Chains A and B, each alone.
Chain A
Amino acid sequence: GNSVTQMEGPVTLSEEAFLTINCTYTATGYPSLFWYVQYPGEGLQLLLKATKADDKGSNKGFEATYRKETTSFHLEKGSVQVSDSAVYFCALSSSGNTPLVFGKGTRLSVIA
């Protein structure tokens, strides 16, 4: 079945540091890939997505590229801010109106 594996946290960085959160997936066919973010006490918000190989999703300075050859969708940001502190979830979805399969989440703490 489909599955998502992402690096375990917590990750603690200083402000303006470079961020990478690794995510790999296992899926049949050609899934869509997502990063969702959950700020403390809130629900999930879509951060970015990519629907086919070599697509790059980007939003708020975050980027992730859909790499079919390595089945990866790593999240990166060049300079993190304290306000980026949250839990980040990598997820995939097969075609059709199907639920998302999530990774376990990575907690990021950015300190000033």
Chain B
Amino acid sequence: GAVVSQHPSRVICKSGTSVKIECRSLDFQATTMFWYRQFPKQSLMLMATSNEGSKATYEQGVEKDKFLINHASLTLSTLTVTSAHPEDSSFYICSARDLSLEANVLTFGAGSRLTVL
């Protein structure tokens, strides 16, 4: 089945620095990837839809200058948290579909836990 790899799984950074999270589709191409954020004990909030070769589509309330998304190839999307602050600490999860397989099944990465000190 489809596999989505996410890296790093955990990252700790100082306030004010930037952190990049990578999301790769293994063995399939993904023209679209989705980035979610999960707060403790809460559901997943869709942050943005990452589109290969074009700008990401951000959900209402998500700062596009804060959360930079780049989808430069059919297998890689990156999320960069710029000038991170403690309130950005969260669990970030990416997902994608292998459209050659069953329709509408989203495969998720294992997530990246960001802690900003």
Residues of A within 8 A of B (CB): 32, 34, 36, 42-46, 49, 51, 89, 93, 95, 97, 99-100, 102-105, 107
Contact = CB atoms under 8 A, between A and B. Distances in A.
Given A43-B6, A43-B111, A97-B32, A89 B43 contact: yes
Interface in B21-72: 31-32, 34, 41-44, 46, 49
B105 interface: yes
Contact of B111 (A34, A42, A49): A42
A45 B108 contact: yes
B19 interface: no
B74 interface: no
B43 A43 contact: no
A43 B3 CA distance: 12
Interface of B: 6, 31-32, 34, 41-44, 46, 49, 93, 95, 97, 99, 102-111
A40 to B, nearest CB: 12
9 contacts: A43-B108, A49-B102, A89-B43, A93-B104, A95-B103, A99-B34, A103-B43, A104-B43, A107-B41
Contact of B99 (A36, A97, A107): A97
